[in-house]
């Protein structure tokens, strides 16, 4: 039961809303995966809209709506924009949100569903549905920032729990989240993992992938496959050369960049660069490291 | 708002499920004439863009269909590809996979029971409100959930979209000692899970009986999780002889159809409505529960699973889930106890031109994958049948039945708000994961 005092306190707390667009729910689930912090967090923010967890919107338990009423102090947005209705809904959500933070590769880079951007969506529709005409969808899957201004983008497929907590706490404290822009390689060093590329010649996207996961894959003996998306200015030319040296074919290289962050502008040149590499196998451009003989 | 004949109820969003869906309910006087679950989760075309990918990719790619049950997708995908390539993963590698899957069951069921479903029975809007007067119960749920996640983290690298799963096995397998801390947590989780069974068994359950056919994997000798033969029963037939068929024949029995109102396909089993998930698993596998889980089930009033008693009240699915948590905890403990690190983390899975199928028990029910491979392993076809799409018609039938029972009791004047809540509850009984099939509920009741 709510006490009067409890209600009064809750009224003054900053409000949080969590929204879903085209996605797998993994990023919002990350919030519920903060088992140790979850109940404490609900004493510091009022979760006003979070359908995966709650049907109530605000005190009084009124029913939640798909587009919410607001205003909200902080909106976390998961998922990419793939339908005409969603393109409108995100505008509304922006209007009723003081700060809007995207969570995850879908909301930040279009997600895996952006693979449609490289093909013919009508063909996809026909491949999955017997009656494609029943299905309405946009030609593309686009990140939230292609539609509305975004205050902060949190990378990852899925996002990292610790980084999410940092983003929320930073907002509560009115400061900028401390999410470093360096690569997974830095986290490997910090973790003390021996570089699997150097030690075993395992192809790894760590050098061009945004930090945040804590360098999980190399610690498990697997090359990074880029689920956190690009670092600020990835040196793709030298990355591609390295991947080729480590035995990846052109198709493999294209495929690995075209998965969970396929539509990110930083990774886009990969297609051209990989083709270029193939045409001129010994092309000696200036930023390309020397090949071992 | 109720006038004679016609009224329209509107529920903009179904909360505490994973995904976006709407319900359309038509009521004439005091009779429900139509209950239609409309899933409008934006389509994401996974089956289409799997085509042209390498045979090593489906575990990572299909994991992204659902953040709540990624392991289920990874396991069904691995199995289907290994099946195509003629490789069987068994021994300690298979046991480790089962352990990982136990982690997902524990995590997902604990989430559903404590954070999403229990508030329905206790008249609370959500877990935050529930925690205000039952903090210990919510904390216990979070603790159980965390133990499931600890397994996923240890074996998979992280709880959501684990990175350590590959076709043929794992990238890295743990040494025996690395699993020891998990065993300690699991022993604590066993007490917590038993406490949760007692907690949910004491809830008030509306009277309800469902008569759907049931479909689950059956793996004689043990409660099916990661393998088994698809087995169907019709518990309300006079002679409930289970029907079995091989995984590769599943598509001959399960027919999916597209309906105009939904982005999810709806399925029928040999032309009949059916249910997959905890109630089906419990009916088909109950006699192979660990003694501790079986005793918990008996004490919780579920009858004797060892004697073949089933549970046909969908509102009691929360109790069955709680028993399955005990089961998964016991099973995880057994695997850790018997585990020996295998000599290699994965078997070689060389591609060949073939078709392969795989089916496992996701927390919400049977999940089937089929892939066709070209000689070099490139995927030429993909087919995925998720549990929620299979359950869609059974869910609709449960909604209709629950609303009708309410109308029978209260007559046409039944309160809109109460009907709405009842619909939501009838749906949440099935823990529908609408990201797998679709999300959100937009309910319109039309009365004519
Ligand atoms: S970014 Fe990845 S984890 Fe997050 S919602 Fe999208 S698919 Fe799921
Ligand atoms: S793919 Fe890269 S970014 Fe993603 S978890 Fe693995 S190491 Fe981290």
Within 8 A by CB and 6+ apart from A271, the residues are A254
- Collect all residues of chain A within an 8 Å Cβ-Cβ radius of residue B15: 51-56, 64
Q: How many CB pairs under 8 A join A and B?
A: 205
Number of the ligand closest to the Cα of A228: 2
Which residue in B has a C-alpha nearest to residue A61's C-alpha?
B125
Query: Are B92 and B332 a contacting pair, CB within 8 Å?
Result: no
Q: Among A229-238, B164-173, B333-342, whose mean pLDDT is lowest?
A: A229-238
pLDDT of residue A292 exceeding 60: no
Query: At A8, is the pLDDT very low, low, confident or very high (cuts 50, 70, 90)?
Result: very low
CA of A158 to the centre of ligand 1 (A): 5
CA of A209 to the centre of ligand 2 (A): 8
Q: What is the mean pLDDT of residues A72-93?
A: 94
The percentage of chain A sitting over the pLDDT mark of 70, rounded to a whole number, equals: 81
Q: What confidence score (pLDDT) does residue B242 get? A: 82
Tell me the pTM: 0.92
Cross-strand partners of B183:
none
Within 8 A by CB and 6+ apart from B193, the residues are B106, B144, B322, B325, B326, B329
CA proximity to B386, closest of B322, B332, B432: B432
Angle between helices B317-338 and B91-110 (to 10 degrees): 150
E strand or H helix at B97: helix B91-110
First and final C-alpha spacing in chain A: 74
**Which value, to the nearest 10 degrees, does the dihedral of the CA atoms of residues A222, A226, A228, A229 take?**
170
Angle between helices B91-110 and B135-156 (to 10 degrees): 150
CA of A252 to the centre of ligand 2 (A): 17
Q: What confidence score (pLDDT) does residue B423 get? A: 85
Measured distance CA(B351)–CA(B374) in Å, rounded:
8
Q: What is the mean pLDDT of residues A165-176?
A: 93
Q: Among A122-126, A288-292, B352-356, whose mean pLDDT is lowest?
A: A288-292
Provide the CA B377 distance to its chain's centre, in angstroms: 30
Q: What confidence score (pLDDT) does residue B214 get? A: 94
- Best probe of the B interface among A3, A7, A9, A33, by most B CBs < 10 A, is A33
- Verify cis geometry, omega within 30 degrees of 0, for the bond prior to A158: yes
Q: Among A156-170, A248-262, B389-403, B422-436, whose mean pLDDT is lowest?
A: B422-436
CA of B66 to the centre of ligand 1 (A): 8
CA proximity to B100, closest of B122, B69, B126, B127: B69
Produce one character per residue of B110-122: b if its CB has 16 or more CB atoms within 10 Å, e if not: bbbbbbbbbbbbe
Backbone angles phi, psi at B356, to 5 degrees: -135, 150
**Hey, is the C-beta of B379 within 8 angstroms of any chain A C-beta?**
no
pLDDT of residue A234 exceeding 80: yes
List pocket residues of ligand 2, CB cut-off 6 Å: A 184, 209, 213, 215-217, 224-228; B 163
Residues of B (67-126) whose Cβ lies below 8 Å from A: 67-68, 70, 111, 115-116, 125-126
Backbone angles phi, psi at B267, to 5 degrees: -125, 155
Nearest-CA distance B406 → chain A (Å): 21
Query: Are A227 and A104 a contacting pair, CB within 8 Å?
Result: no
Q: What confidence score (pLDDT) does residue B438 get? A: 39
Measured distance CA(A208)–CA(A211) in Å, rounded:
9
Q: pLDDT tens digits, residue range B27-71?
A: 887 888 888 777 667 777 788 889 999 999 999 999 999 999 999
Q: What confidence score (pLDDT) does residue B234 get? A: 85
Q: pLDDT tens digits, residue range A24-46?
A: 999 999 999 999 999 999 999 99
**Hey, is the C-beta of B258 within 8 angstroms of any chain A C-beta?**
yes
Measured distance CA(B366)–CA(A27) in Å, rounded:
24
A7 vs A251, residue with greater confidence: A251
Measured distance CA(B124)–CA(B43) in Å, rounded:
32
Q: What is the mean pLDDT of residues A216-237?
A: 96
Q: What confidence score (pLDDT) does residue B399 get? A: 87
B155 vs B28, residue with greater confidence: B155
Answer whether A22 sits within 8 Å of B64, measured CB to CB. no
Q: Which of B160, B163, B164 sits opposite A29 (nearest CB)?
A: B160
CA of B169 to the centre of ligand 2 (A): 19
E strand or H helix at B200: helix B176-201
DSSP B359: E
Q: What confidence score (pLDDT) does residue A291 get? A: 36
- Collect all residues of chain A within an 8 Å Cβ-Cβ radius of residue B424: 55
Q: What confidence score (pLDDT) does residue A281 get? A: 47
Residues of B (145-174) whose Cβ lies below 8 Å from A: 145-146, 149, 157-161, 163-164, 166, 170-172
A50 vs B29, residue with greater confidence: A50
Query: At B419, is the pLDDT very low, low, confident or very high (cuts 50, 70, 90)?
Result: confident
pLDDT of residue A62 exceeding 90: no
Q: In the sheet where A72-78 sits, what is the strand order?
A: A46-50, A15-20, A72-78, A97-103, A152-154
Within 8 A by CB and 6+ apart from B252, the residues are B245
A293 vs A100, residue with greater confidence: A100
Q: What confidence score (pLDDT) does residue A2 get? A: 40
B411 vs B53, residue with greater confidence: B53
Query: At B108, is the pLDDT very low, low, confident or very high (cuts 50, 70, 90)?
Result: very high
Q: What confidence score (pLDDT) does residue B11 get? A: 56
Query: Secondary structure of chain A in the HEC alphabet?
Result: CCCHHHHHHHHHCCEEEEEECECCCHHHHHHHCCCCCHHHHCCCCEEEEECCCECEECCCCEECCCCCCCCEEEEEEECEECCHHHHHHHHHHHHCEEEEEEEHHHHHHCCHHHHHHHCCHHHHHHHHCCCHHHCCCCCCCECHHHCCCCCEEECCCCCCHHHHHHHHHHHHHCCCCCCCCCEHHHHHHHHCCCCHHHHHCCCCCHHHEECCCCCHHHHCCCCCCCCCCECCCCCHHHHHHHHHHCCCCHHHHHHHHCCCCCCCCCCCCHHHHHHHHHHCCCCCCCCCCCCCC
Q: Among A185-194, A209-218, B264-273, whose mean pLDDT is lowest?
A: B264-273
Provide the CA B443 distance to its chain's centre, in angstroms: 23
Q: What confidence score (pLDDT) does residue B3 get? A: 42
Measured distance CA(B107)–CA(B121) in Å, rounded:
21
Q: Among A122-136, A253-267, B242-256, B430-444, whose mean pLDDT is lowest?
A: B430-444
- Best probe of the A interface among B43, B50, B129, B150, by most A CBs < 10 A, is B43
Average pLDDT over chain A, rounded to an integer? 85
Detail the DSSP E strand segments found in B142-286.
165-166, 169-170, 213-218, 229-233, 243-244, 254-257, 266-269, 274-275
Q: What is the mean pLDDT of residues B60-89?
A: 96
Q: What confidence score (pLDDT) does residue B8 get? A: 54
A114 vs B174, residue with greater confidence: B174
Nearest-CA distance A54 → chain B (Å): 5
List pocket residues of ligand 1, CB cut-off 6 Å: A 23-24, 26-27, 78-79, 104-106, 111-112, 157-158; B 64, 67
Produce one character per residue of B402-425: b if its CB has 16 or more CB atoms within 10 Å, e if not: bbeebbeeeeeebebeebbbbbbb
- Most confident range (mean pLDDT) of A54-58, A140-144, B233-237 is A140-144
Average pLDDT over chain B, rounded to an integer? 89
Within 8 A by CB and 6+ apart from A199, the residues are none
Q: pLDDT tens digits, residue range B181-239?
A: 999 999 999 999 999 999 999 999 998 988 899 999 999 999 999 999 999 998 776 55
B151 vs A140, residue with greater confidence: B151
Tell me the pairing of strands B443-447 and B21-28. parallel
pLDDT of residue B19 exceeding 80: no
Q: Among A145-154, B22-31, B306-315, B387-396, whose mean pLDDT is lowest?
A: B22-31
Measured distance CA(B9)–CA(B25) in Å, rounded:
9
Query: At B91, is the pLDDT very low, low, confident or very high (cuts 50, 70, 90)?
Result: very high
Measured distance CA(B56)–CA(B74) in Å, rounded:
11
Number of the ligand closest to the Cα of A196: 2
Nearest-CA distance B435 → chain A (Å): 6
ipTM attached to this prediction: 0.91
Within 8 A by CB and 6+ apart from B8, the residues are B444, B445, B446, B447
pLDDT of residue B445 exceeding 50: no
Q: What is the mean pLDDT of residues B135-158?
A: 98
Q: Among A257-266, B253-262, B292-301, B396-405, whose mean pLDDT is lowest?
A: B253-262
């Amino acid at each position: 039961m709510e006490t009067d005092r409890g209600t009064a306190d809750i009224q003054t707390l900053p409000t949080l809303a969590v929204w879903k667009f085209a996605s797998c729910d993994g990023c919002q689930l990350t919030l519920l995966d903060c088992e140790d912090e979850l109940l404490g967090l609900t004493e510091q923010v009022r979760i006003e809209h979070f359908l995966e967890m709650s049907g109530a919107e605000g005190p009084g338990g009124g029913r939640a709506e798909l587009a919410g009423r607001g205003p909200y102090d902080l909106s976390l947005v998961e998922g990419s924009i793939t339908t005409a209705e969603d393109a409108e809904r995100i505008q509304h959500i922006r209007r009723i949100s003081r700060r809007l933070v995207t969570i995850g590769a879908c909301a930040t880079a279009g997600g895996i569903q952006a693979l449609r951007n490289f093909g013919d969506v009508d063909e996809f529709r026909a491949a999955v549905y017997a009656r494609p005409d029943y299905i309405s969808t946009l030609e593309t899957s686009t990140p939230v920032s292609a539609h509305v201004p975004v205050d902060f983008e949190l990378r990852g497929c899925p996002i990292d729990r610790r980084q999410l907590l940092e983003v929320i706490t930073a907002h509560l404290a009115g400061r900028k989240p401390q999410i470093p822009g360096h690569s997974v390689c830095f986290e490997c060093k910090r973790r003390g993992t021996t570089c699997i590329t150097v030690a075993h010649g395992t192809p790894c996207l760590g050098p061009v992938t945004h930090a945040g996961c804590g360098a999980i894959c190399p610690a498990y003996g697997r090359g990074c496959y880029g689920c956190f998306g690009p670092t600020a200015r990835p040196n793709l030319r030298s990355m591609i050369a390295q991947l080729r040296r480590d035995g990846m074919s052109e198709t493999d290289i294209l495929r690995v960049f075209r998965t969970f962050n396929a539509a990110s502008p930083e990774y886009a040149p990969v297609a051209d660069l990989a083709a270029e590499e193939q045409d001129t196998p010994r092309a000696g451009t200036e930023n390309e490291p020397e090949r071992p003989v | 708002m109720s006038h004679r004949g016609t009224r329209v109820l509107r529920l903009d969003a179904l909360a505490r499920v994973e995904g976006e869906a709407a319900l359309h309910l038509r009521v004439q006087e005091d009779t429900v004439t139509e209950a239609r679950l409309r899933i409008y989760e934006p389509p994401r075309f996974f089956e289409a863009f799997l085509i042209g990918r390498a045979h090593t990719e489906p575990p990572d790619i299909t994991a992204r269909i659902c953040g709540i049950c990624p392991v289920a997708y990874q396991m069904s995908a691995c199995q289907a590809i290994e099946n195509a390539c003629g490789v069987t993963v068994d021994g300690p590698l298979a046991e480790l996979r089962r352990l990982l899957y136990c982690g997902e069951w524990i995590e997902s069921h604990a989430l559903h029971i404590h954070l999403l479903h229990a508030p329905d029975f206790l008249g609370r809007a959500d877990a935050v409100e529930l925690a205000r007067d039952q903090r210990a119960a919510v904390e216990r749920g979070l603790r159980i959930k965390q133990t499931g996640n600890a397994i996923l983290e240890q074996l998979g690298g992280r709880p959501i979209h684990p990175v350590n799963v590959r076709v043929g096995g794992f990238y890295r397998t743990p040494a025996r000692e690395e699993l020891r801390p998990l065993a300690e947590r699991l022993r604590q989780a066993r007490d917590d899970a038993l406490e949760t069974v007692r907690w949910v068994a004491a809830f008030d359950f509306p009277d309800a009986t469902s008569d759907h056919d049931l479909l689950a994997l059956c793996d004689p000798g043990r409660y099916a999780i990661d393998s088994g033969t698809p087995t169907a029963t019709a518990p309300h037939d006079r002679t409930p002889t289970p029907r079995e068929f091989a995984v590769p024949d599943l598509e001959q029995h399960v027919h999916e159809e597209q309906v105009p109102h939904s982005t999810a396909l709806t399925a029928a089993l040999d032309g009949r409505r059916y249910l997959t998930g905890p109630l089906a698993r419990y009916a088909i596998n109950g006699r192979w529960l660990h003694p501790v889980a079986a005793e918990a089930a008996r004490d919780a009033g579920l009858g004797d699973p060892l004697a073949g008693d089933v549970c046909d009240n969908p509102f009691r699915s929360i109790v069955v889930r709680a028993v399955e948590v005990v089961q998964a905890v016991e099973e995880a403990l057994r695997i850790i106890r018997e585990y020996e690190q295998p000599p290699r983390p994965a078997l070689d899975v060389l591609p060949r031109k073939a078709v392969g199928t795989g089916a496992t028990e996701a927390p919400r029910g049977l999940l089937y994958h089929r892939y066709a491979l070209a000689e070099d392993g490139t995927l030429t076809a993909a087919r995925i049948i998720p549990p929620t799409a299979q359950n869609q018609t059974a869910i609709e039938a449960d909604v209709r039945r629950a609303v009708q029972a309410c109308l029978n009791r209260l007559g046409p004047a039944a309160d809109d708000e109460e009907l709405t809540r009842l619909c939501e509850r009838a749906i949440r009984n099935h823990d529908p994961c609408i990201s797998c099939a679709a999300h959100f509920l937009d309910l319109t009741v039309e009365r004519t």
